[in-house]
Amino acid sequence: MSKNSLFDGFSMLTEFYEIKTADGYFNSRMRDTVAYFDLFFRKVPDNGGFAIMAGLEQVIEYLQNIEFTDSDLEFLRSKGVSEEFLSYLKDFRFACDVWAIPEGTPIFPNEPIIKVRGPVVQAQLIETALLMLINQQSLIATKANRLVRAARGTTVAEYGTRRAQGSSQAILGARAAYIGGCSMTSGIIPEKDFDIPGVDTMIHSWVQMFDSEYEAFCEYARRYPDDCSLVVDTYDTIRSGIPNAIRAFNDVLLPMGKRPSSIRIDSGDITYLSKRARKMLNEAGYPDCDIMASNSLDEHLINDMVSQGAKIDCFIVGERLITSASSPLFSGVYKLSAIEKDGQIIPKINLSENVSKITIPSSKMVYRLFDMNSGKAIADVLTLDGEEIDESKPYTLFDPDFTWKRKEIESFVARPLLVPIFAGGKCVYTQPSLDEIREYCSEQIDTLWDEVKRFENPHKYYVDLSNDLWKIRNDLIEQYKGVTK
């Protein structure tokens, strides 16, 4: 997408305390300090077994286009930002190193999905935008995949533009839904800018504008014979909608040598109605006419409908996808993990009264261990930079909190997940196409055990620490425990 369509003014899409903190760093002895920050999340939405990484393409575009206009600087001046820092922002050039887990990868709580290294002023300044872009799209990609898995091979279409909470959510939400496995979108901008296939169907007001349902269907068929999709529940699906649709197909489409595309059911007991509709369409000679279903669907309703034998060819999902209504928060956070001093990496930790908020210090790499025989993912392991996992030897996994829980594994492959995105502010990453990301996502989800993919009480996938990293974390906890300075 072009900067003008989405990223115009994004440099100021932040919170003032980020500017204030960066200003403070800039005008102190910490100006040139190199800092490391991790972006990670704490909880999988819907209490699921995994989430899906999405939003990296927009992060890259944002970081490549940070600039502050005269108007921006004047406003910040009115807020008391120092002249020295304003001068720095006027000539801002991004200079950080960035690593990230590629889009479409299944991700798990507490592991870095983006790592930033660079001048603390810059690394701090980008926090808000990175969180917004990753949180939104990862949330929707995760929800979309739940819907797609519930559909068990039936097409799922994203239909959320009208329910989205703002244009960015509509546009980028459609992109994320496509990564997660949805096949189509109702939005024109996502179709135009991202080449996502579009989905189209009649709306109820068309039917209401005519004196009869049959007349409405015939006129629609005459105008759109190559993609005739009729909504059949405006009055009565079985007694009126489907019979009138079949009459219109017979009277208008067949003489033109055309076939109907689909009908859509948007109310009532859709499972029951779809079975009746399929029988009626087949008997009328239209077994190739698809049946689409809508009406506030979610993964649980879809799962039940599929289990009960619903004759649906496409599930259309709007509000409960684009807002992730059942779990509308992706708990991404951005935390300092280390600084450099005299050429050494100094680990930093954030302790908390809430144990789950204790961070994992130091600059890290994330490895995913795959079973060599089944190809399934076993666990993720966080290591210190430079640590290598020797695949030729047995490796012991242990629970970072309950260290007596241990498991020795053999015959595995260790794959690093964090890949270089920026080096010294220059993008070094070749962004795959959206279709490639979507295919990669599907492939990577297939590496997860079915137990991890359960909707209810999924098996916990472990994110472990290497011995060296665990020791650093434990030593820092002991060092700061009980500190009252």
Instruction: Give the list of residues 6+ apart from residue 72 with CB closer than 8 angstroms, or none.
Output: 11, 12, 89
pTM of the entire predicted model: 0.95
**Which residues make Cβ contacts (< 8 Å) with residue 242, sequence separation at least 6?**
232, 263, 276, 277, 280, 281
Least confident of 116-130, 160-174, 309-323: 160-174
pLDDT for position 353: 78
Q: Quick: pLDDT tens for 145-161.
A: 999 999 999 999 999 99
pLDDT band of residue 482 (cuts 50, 70, 90) is low
Query: What is the model's pLDDT at position 255?
Result: 97
Residue 230, strand partner residues: 263
At 6, the pLDDT band (50, 70, 90 cuts) reads low
Does residue 36 register a pLDDT over 70?
Answer: yes
Q: Per residue in 299-345, pLDDT tens?
A: 999 999 999 999 999 999 999 999 999 999 999 999 999 999 998 99
In this predicted structure, what is the pLDDT of residue 480?
Answer: 87
Over residues 103-129, the mean pLDDT reads 97
Closest alpha carbon to 330 in 64, 58, 130: 130
If you average pLDDT over residues 104-115, what whole number do you get? 98
Helix (H) or strand (E) segment spanning residue 300: helix 299-307
Angle at 431 between CA 429 and CA 434, to 5 degrees: 165
- Flag whether pLDDT at 2 surpasses 80: no
Residues 221-232, mean pLDDT to the nearest whole number: 97
| Six-digit token string for 14 | 């932040």
Whether the pLDDT of residue 381 is over 70: the answer is yes
The CATH number that domain 200-313 falls under is 3.20.20.70
Please state, rounded to an integer, the average pLDDT across all residues of the chain: 95
The pLDDT value given to residue 485: 47
Residue 26 has pLDDT above 50, yes or no: yes
Higher pLDDT, 295 or 483: 295
**What is the predicted pLDDT for the residue at 8?**
61
Map out the domains of the chain as residue ranges.
3-140+328-480, 200-313
Write the CATH number of the domain with boundaries 3-140+328-480: 3.20.140.10
Q: What is the DSSP-derived secondary structure letter of residue 464?
A: E
Dihedral sign from CA coordinates of 13, 18, 20, 24: negative
Residue 1 has pLDDT above 70, yes or no: no
Average pLDDT of the residues in 223-239: 97
pLDDT (average), residues 122-130: 96
The CA-based dihedral angle spanning residues 261, 266, 271, 277, taken in that order and rounded to the nearest 10 degrees: -40
Which of 109-113, 275-279, 348-352, 366-370 is predicted least confidently? Answer: 348-352
Residue 4 has pLDDT above 70, yes or no: no
Q: Provide the pLDDT confidence category of residue 5 given band limits of 50, 70 and 90.
A: very low
pLDDT at 276 over 70: yes
